[in-house]
């Protein structure tokens, strides 16, 4: 330990010229390795995601778009004050429900 003044204390560390973790505490690397092993085991236990065909992906994407549009239409319908606009939103909601039913 090197003391320059009453409040300044500097610790002298030996300089390492070799090794992966020059001034890293021991155990950090082993914790990282343990986390990686745990993540790998969890990913092996996770259910396999089946690969979708192009048609299945298109249907899934269309369903997601319709659900988002339905959510937006519901929010608009709840805040609508004009009766004609409210009816238009109700018709749009019926149409979206029919499309979602058709897609399954």
Taking the model in full, what pTM does it have? 0.51
Range of the domain at 82: 54-103
Compare 59 and 18 and report the one with higher pLDDT. Answer: 59
Q: Indicate whether 96 belongs to any domain.
A: yes
Q: Indicate whether 97 belongs to any domain.
A: yes
Please report where in the chains the tokens 């979602």 appear, as a residue. 100
Q: Is 12 helix (H, G, I), strand (E, B) or coil?
A: coil
Q: Indicate whether 24 belongs to any domain.
A: no
Q: Indicate whether 78 belongs to any domain.
A: yes
Which distant-in-sequence residues (6+ apart) come within 8 Å of 62 by Cβ?
103
Q: Indicate whether 89 belongs to any domain.
A: yes
Q: Indicate whether 34 belongs to any domain.
A: no
What integer is the mean pLDDT of 11-39? 64
Indicate whether 21 pLDDT > 60. no
Structural domain count, the chain: 1
Q: Indicate whether 74 belongs to any domain.
A: yes
Which distant-in-sequence residues (6+ apart) come within 8 Å of 91 by Cβ?
none
């Amino acid at each position: 330990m090197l003391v320059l003044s009453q409040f300044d204390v500097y610790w002298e560390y030996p300089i390492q010229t070799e090794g992966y973790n020059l001034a890293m505490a021991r155990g950090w690397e082993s914790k990282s390795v343990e986390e990686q092993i745990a993540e790998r085991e969890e990913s092996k236990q996770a259910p396999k995601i089946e690969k979708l065909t192009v048609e299945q992906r298109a249907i899934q994407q269309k369903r997601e778009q319709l659900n988002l549009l339905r959510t937006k239409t519901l929010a608009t319908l709840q805040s609508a004050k004009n009766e004609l606009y409210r009816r238009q939103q109700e018709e749009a909601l019926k149409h979206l429900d029919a499309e979602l039913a058709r897609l399954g």
